[in-house]
A and B are shown apart, each in its own frame.
Chain A
Amino acid sequence: MTSAIDVSPAKPAFRLARARQGLERVVVPALLIAAWEAVARSGMLPPALLPAPSAVLHALGDWVFGFDETTQTYSGHWLRDALASALRVFGGFALASVLGILAGVAIGWSRLFEKTLEPTLQMLRPIPPVSWIPLAIIWFGIADKPAIFLVFLGAFFPVLMNSIHGVKTVDHNLVRAGAMMGANERQMLTDIVLPAALPSIFAGLRIAVGSAWMLTVTAEMVAVKSGLGYVLWDSYYFLRYDIVLAAMISIGLLGYLSDLGLKAIMARALRWQTTTTVQGRTG
């Protein structure tokens, strides 16, 4: 017998194992959706109160493509609504990232900033961003600005805290090595401290993008007249729970996608770190 014959039976077994793994992932969601569909169709609850998954999918489809106007005025407007929310998330998140990293690095690196800036910021941190809504409305009116302001508040503190932590926990010996090789203060920051703090900063950014979606939807419910959050709240008033659920699904999906995007950027920036962990896991 040759070795080729010994190897071949392993292949289908391997495929089977992968197929089983795929099945393990979908079995719980599939059962849940099937049960939900069954309960909704059984007539235990009025269909208006618990729309079936098929009805939600129908509403979502019409909202996106506008084929039969089930969703009335929203029909075919999904892209516009999603874009409105996404732009607020992006605006507030970008602002929070830039300022959060700058302030965090300054506080982590310099005693002066730590003493002067940090107490004020730490005092503002426990105030829930949502409680700023009244002030946000009277300052910025009802439009994009209050939403971006709230998103900024929600995203800023996770970035700030993780940047401070990242800079403070930089290996002291790396700083010594930098000084030994003749780094000046600025080079110490840009060539040693920042790259060393990057994993921690990215952890903050990922938490922040989650809060950003949470806050933009909250803001749209009360302070803005467009976006996914607005559609969600408006449909609630019109008792259209199928659209409410379609909006929830859309928010979950976009939040998940933005995290995936951030993860992809992180994997590129921290390639030096991921190469080993991936090998360690698979090898």
Chain B
Amino acid sequence: MAAIELRNIVKVFSDKRRGRDLLTLDNINLDIEANDFVCLLGPSGCGKSTLLNIIAGFEQATSGRTLVDGRQVQRPGSDRGVVFQQPTLMPWLTAIDNVAFHLKLKGVPKAERHHRAMEFIDLVGLRGFEHHHPSELSGGMNQRVGIARALLMNPSVILMDEPFAALDAQTKLEMQEELVAIWQKRRCTIVFVTHSVDEALVLGNKIVVMTKRPGRIRDAVNFDLPRPRDITSPEFNDAKRHILALIREESTRLAQAS
């Protein structure tokens, strides 16, 4: 049994201004195995974030079934940790209280909460900053808090919606390396949404290429280049060429159709 099973997912948004429906996701079928690092790659507006939100339980599919660990997804829950595009931390809580928020909701006493949260503060390299508020930390540090917060729940899957998109190039590289290290250390299932071919190839061991409007899965490519990955190596470039060809083929098709 796969960790995540998507069966015939269709999502239709009603566009009231144009008075017609917009098919956003068209019959998505995808199996994600446990401990996979899957990157959903596609241009903006291809429905990749919508697909992630459906797995998270924030949105409902118009039809089709979403199973996580064999159970139908009905609402958001702590079995699926989400890292948002913006850090989305509680601004009135310190870093450690943000990381431990899930434990607070479960009624765990404060001392134990902080003790357990410190492990994840360490994991994302924020020791010394645990008593800072989000407004006192940089964007990259806040995103680390967001990652630690998702990891602490020990979820069966972690869903990430372009979490590094707002970071500068250098911080982005650091964060990508650290995320891979965390994934290798903790062996978790990650679904990572991105529009960057390079990011997908640096991170994923499976890259799902999506097409635009309606969102469909063009191809799912397994990519087992050993880590750390050298982004200038011939193997990396071969894979990149292959993915880019898939995307280009798609845009030519779209151009001809219109």
Contacts and interface: CB of A to CB of B under 8 A. Distances in A.
Interface string A113-149: 0000000000000000000000000000000000000
Interface stretch (A52-60, A171-179, A213-221): A171-179
A173 B81 CA distance: 14
A178 B89 CA distance: 10
A191 interface: yes
B84 A173 contact: yes
A182 B108 CA distance: 14
Contacts of B84: 173, 176-177
A275 B76 contact: no
Contact of A273 (B88, B90, B135): B135
A192 B93 CA distance: 10
Interface string B99-125: 001101110000000000000000000
A187 B136 CA distance: 26
Contacts of B82: 176-177, 180
Interface string B135-159: 1100000000000010001000000
B75 interface: yes
Interface string A178-205: 1111110001000110011010000000
Contacts of A192: 90
Given A180-B78, A180-B81, A173 B133 contact: no
Contact of B135 (A177, A196, A198, A275): A275
Given A181-B101, A275-B135, A275-B136, A195 B92 contact: yes
B49 interface: no
B85 to A, nearest CB: 9
Contact of B75 (A177, A179, A181, A196): A179
A237 interface: no
Nearest to B98: A177
A122 B189 CA distance: 51
Contact of B105 (A174, A182, A195, A198): A182
A2 B207 CA distance: 64
A207 B189 CA distance: 51
A272 B88 CA distance: 15
B58 interface: yes
Given A171-B88, A182-B77, A275 B105 contact: no
A198 B93 CA distance: 13
Contacts of B205: none
B118 to A, nearest CB: 18
Interface string B227-239: 0000000000000
Contacts of B93: 272
Contacts of A177: 82, 84, 88-90
A1 to B, nearest CB: 39
Contacts of A171: 88
A185 to B, nearest CB: 12
Contacts of A270: 92
Interface of B is mostly: loop
A182 B88 contact: no
Nearest to A195: B92
Given A181-B78, A182-B106, A276 B135 contact: yes
A174 B90 CA distance: 7
A180 B104 contact: no
Nearest to B86: A173
Listed residue (A174, A179, A180) with the most chain B CB atoms within 10 angstroms of its CB: A180
B88 A183 contact: no
A181 to B, nearest CB: 4
B56 interface: yes
A195 B102 contact: no
B134 to A, nearest CB: 8
A275 B94 CA distance: 12
Contact of A275 (B81, B90, B133): B133
B48 interface: no
Given A173-B88, A192-B90, A272-B91, A180 B133 contact: no
A68 B118 CA distance: 68
Contacts of A173: 84, 86, 88
22 contacts: A173-B84, A173-B88, A174-B90, A176-B58, A176-B76, A176-B84, A177-B89, A177-B90, A179-B58, A179-B76, A179-B77, A180-B78, A180-B80, A181-B105, A181-B149, A182-B102, A182-B105, A191-B104, A272-B91, A272-B135, A273-B92, A276-B136
Interface of B: 56-58, 75-78, 80-82, 84, 86, 88-93, 101-102, 104-106, 133, 135-136, 149, 153
Given A174-B88, A182-B153, A191-B101, 4 more contacts: A177-B90, A179-B57, A181-B149, A182-B102
Interface of A: 171, 173-174, 176-183, 187, 191-192, 195-196, 198, 270, 272-273, 275-276
Task: Please list the 8 inter-chain residue pairs (A to B) with the smallest Cβ-Cβ separation, ordered nearest first.
Answer: A179-B76, A182-B78, A276-B135, A181-B102, A272-B92, A173-B88, A272-B133, A180-B82
